[in-house]
Amino acid sequence: MKDPLSHGNDTDHKKAAHKPAIPGSGGLLYPQQNLLRNVLDISGLWQFQLDPKEEGEAQAWFNALPSPRMIPVPCSWNDLFDDARDYLGLAWYRHEGYAPSSWRGQRVFLRVGSANYAAKVWVNGIAAAEHFGGHLPFVVEITDQLLWDRQNIIAISVENKQLPERVPPGPAAAGAGAFGSLPPFPATTYDFFPYAGLHRPVLLYSVPAGAHIDDISVVTTLDGEDGVVKVAVSAGGYAGKGKLLLNDCQAELNFRAGSAEAILRVPSARFWCPKDPYLYLLTVTLTDEDQTIDAYSLDIGIRTIAVCGDELLLNGQQIKLTGFGKHEDFPLSGRGQNLPMWVRDYELLKWIGANSYRTSHYPYAEEAMMLADRLGVLVINEIPAVGLNFGDGEAMTARRLAQCRQQLHELILRDKNHPSTIIWSVANEPVTGSAPDISTQEAIAAGTSFFRQLYDDAHRLDGTRPVTLVGLQGGPAEWLGLFDIVSINRYYGWYTMPGQLERARQELERELDALHKSLAKPVIMTEFGADTLPGAHNTPPEMWTEEYQVELLRHYLDAVANRPFVVGMHVWAFADFKTGQNVIRAAAMNFKGVFTRDRRPKMAAHFLRSLWMKSDGKAMD
């Protein structure tokens, strides 16, 4: 099968110059400006052109686009141009600019925050990197390709084809989709719009030409009132000295083969939690005698997260998650990074009394994680493995597993130091599939092997956080039992038993008790809700009205009130979001939000606030 990243034929010299994007041995530290490092955000207005015939590479569009228009970076292209609303094929971005002359003599890298879905990068006509899979950053060193006496041309081709071998997988055949015989347009296996483009900032950054800090891993534990901070640092092949500084605490680093570890004890530490999201500033330096040759600082929170019996424990204390599943989705910017949206969303989470959310169904922007750290919001961090099925045979399953393992590796590499991230999620709503030559039991067995490997990978890469899988209603319980926490999406009273809320509650209670009896693990309800047209009202409550949404949420919350093994309730969804066109998606929207797409509260938002907030304006314990 043709490599989905291959958009055309390279010349021999361009193939020779091609480099894989980091990660590999490298890290994904967020670029930082300090006395020894530099950052230049080259986001802004770029040239842009669709390439439906995929002729751009053969015609050297990486040097000049024949008929460009301007596009903002970051942004999705679909909501900006009428001819590109449903276009998911190949498109080109092009930028010209100078590299700062003061960077000469340093190592220079290009960092793409998210290119959804497959991307290829050229620097001054030379193929520099490829990356497969959206929502996570990739990095390539471009020192040797840079020009210092003229403007540099950076070109990035991006496409978001919905192909069955990808993760998330596209429809296996024409007409297939997220709704069986009623597929959306554009056709997907998931229920949100397949936005395409450069969705997060594009950065140039430089590090010292010699040794530099490549990666930092921080693990915190509690010892009575003290915090214990274990720090591992990677610095290529460096074999010298370094230091750690955390407030008044210091430790020496002795590097061997580019790696060093040290432990800091923080007396009477402030433990990070939603009520007190205190962040300590950790600074790592590489030193040559008395000279600092590189430095990097990051905010860390001293906290622990664990599962014990039926409980989820933060800093050894039981915690219940209240919040939402949500999407990075907003008018015009689509899935592109939108910092005003994020600031407003966190303000609304605080207003409603929520303490958490899930990054459904892909990793969110790094800046969103930074805000969550600072504001004390708990995050279930999910890879883009939505729409998986195990009815397509061993070869397809193996290809998807390789991509999921890459996505999980990149996500943990990026977000392992964020105290806000408390749980890793490796998939949302996987199904067995319906291939005629694969039995249900064979598909369940294939999925069991698949998810066991992802579970093991997650704990190998990060042994400090629980791991979960989010199960579909009617999905195999065997898969749920592999994980530390049982996470389920349920829509009794909406997709099943529509309009029958008392019956829906009884069935939910029966299933919760059965799951807990068979699996004996804590449960998080990661989705439950009802589509609600803003301004639609009726009494008695009817489906699609604001009253019905309130009553459905009330029934679900009442059902778990006396079931302490349910450690989290995440309403679907935080805000209305765009979908493909479909007969069950009025106005190409999912209306299950308790806020509208432009963040106006529905009745359900006020209802939840009445439950989650005290009269003094503070969130419930």
Task: Look at strands 523-527 and 91-97 and give their pairing.
Answer: unpaired
pLDDT for the residue 105: 95
Strands (E), 384-517: 421-428, 467-471, 485-489
Residue 430, preceding peptide bond in cis (omega within 30° of 0): no
In a domain, 620, yes or no: no
- Distance set, CA 219 to CA 38, 268, 301 (Å): 27, 18, 10
Same-domain check for residues 363 and 502? yes
Total domain count for the chain?
3
DSSP state of 212: -
At residue 404 the predicted structure's pLDDT band, cuts being 50, 70 and 90, is very high
Q: Which of 144, 172, 207 is the last residue of a domain?
A: 207
> What is the reported pLDDT for 614?
75
> What integer pLDDT is reported at residue 130 of this predicted model?
96
Do residues 249 and 318 both lie within one domain?
Answer: no
- Classify residue 165: in a domain, yes or no: no
- Residues 578, 474 within the same domain: yes
Does 25 have pLDDT greater than 50? no
Distance between first and last Cα of the chain: 54
pLDDT computed for residue 22 by the predictor: 43
Same domain, 337 and 401: yes
Look up tokens 């949302």; give the residue: 428
Share of the chain above pLDDT 70, in %: 93
Contact 367, 339 (CB under 8 A): yes
Torsion 528-361-170-156 (CA) sign: positive
Query: Cα–Cα distances in Å, from 352 out to 2, 346, 412, 620?
Result: 49, 10, 29, 10
Check whether residue 492 and residue 574 sit in a common domain. yes
414: domain CATH number is 3.20.20.80
Domain with residue 267: its CATH number is: 2.60.40.10
pTM: 0.94
Cβ–Cβ < 8 Å for 461, 394: no
Helix (H) or strand (E) holding 384: none
Give the C-alpha separation, 128 to 121, whole Å: 6
**363-379 pLDDT, tens digit each:** 999 999 999 999 999 99
Domain finish residue from 207, 230, 246: 207
What is residue 543's three-state secondary structure? coil
Question: What's the pLDDT at 26?
Answer: 63
State the SS3 of 80-117: CCHHHCCCCCCEEEEEEECCCHHHCCCEEEEEECCEEC
Amino acid identity for residue 189 in this structure: T
Q: How confident is residue 174, by pLDDT bands cut at 50, 70 and 90?
A: very low
Residue 318 clears pLDDT 80, i.e. is over it:
yes
Instruction: Of 351, 373, 341, give the one whose Cα is nearest residue 272.
Output: 373
| % of the chain with per-residue pLDDT over 90 | 89
262-293 tens-digit pLDDT: 999 999 999 999 999 999 999 999 998 889 99
Query: Which two structure tokens, joined as six digits, stand for 387?
Result: 């729409």
Which domain range does residue 264 map to?
215-300
CATH code at position 125: 2.60.120.260
Q: Directed axis angle between helix 546-560 and helix 603-612, to 10°?
A: 30
Using the Cα atoms of residue 459, residue 461, residue 462 and residue 466 in order, give the sign of their dihedral. Answer: negative
Looking at residue 438, its pLDDT comes to 78
Check pLDDT > 70 for residue 3.
no
In a domain, 250, yes or no: yes
Residue among 145, 182, 177, 179 at smallest CA distance from 162: 177
On whether both 246 and 315 belong to a single domain, the answer is: no
- Pair (18, 46) in one structural domain: yes
Among 51, 155, 574, 182, CA closest to 346: 574
> Which among 385, 482, 389, 388 is positioned nearest to 438, based on CA atoms?
389
Q: Is the dihedral of CA 448, 454, 460, 463 positive or negative?
A: negative
Q: What is the pLDDT of residue 183?
A: 83
Residues 512 and 572 in one domain: yes
* pLDDT, position 19: 46
pLDDT (mean) for 45-71: 98
- Written as six digits, the tokens of 117 are 């879905």
Please determine, for residue 320, whether its predicted confidence score (pLDDT) is greater than 80.
Answer: yes
Give 323-360 pLDDT, tens digit per residue: 999 999 999 999 999 999 999 999 999 999 999 999 99
Q: What is the pLDDT of residue 248?
A: 87
Q: What is the pLDDT of residue 617?
A: 65
| Residues 108, 235 share a domain | no
94, part of any domain: yes
- Longest distance between any two alpha carbons in the chain, whole Å: 77
Distance CA 621, CA 320 (A): 8
In this structure, which amino acid lies at residue 617? G
Active site residues: 429, 527
Same domain, 569 and 519: yes
Q: Residues 6 or more apart from 212 whose CB is under 8 A from it?
A: 107, 235, 236, 286, 294
Asked whether residue 181 is assigned to any structural domain, the reply reads no
Please identify, among 300, 333, 356, the residue that sits at the C-terminal boundary of a domain.
300
Give me the mean pLDDT over the 162-178 stretch.
75
Confidence of residue 543 (pLDDT cuts 50, 70, 90): very high
pLDDT exceeds 50 at position 8: no
pLDDT at 615 over 80: no
Does the residue 6 lie in any domain? no
Please name the residue ranges forming H helices in 537-578. 546-560
Which pLDDT does position 177 carry in this prediction?
45
Per-residue model confidence (pLDDT) at position 40: 98
Contact of 112 with 131, CB cutoff 8 Å: yes
**Helix (H, G, I), strand (E, B), or coil: what is residue 283?**
strand
Instruction: Say what the pLDDT of residue 56 is.
Output: 98
pLDDT reported for residue 4: 38
In a domain, 5, yes or no: no
Q: How far apart are CA 396 and CA 519, in angstroms?
A: 30
Residue 237 pLDDT: 86
Per-residue pLDDT at 555 exceeds 70? yes
The DSSP secondary structure of 573-615, one letter per residue, reads -SB-EE--BBTTBGGGEE---SB-TT--B-HHHHHHHHHHB-T
Summarised one tens digit per residue, pLDDT across range 82-92 is 999 999 999 99
pLDDT higher than threshold 90 for residue 226: yes
Residue 435 sits in the same domain as residue 291: no
Q: Is residue 184 part of a domain?
A: no
Say whether both 318 and 420 belong to one domain: yes
To which H or E segment does residue 399 belong? helix 394-415
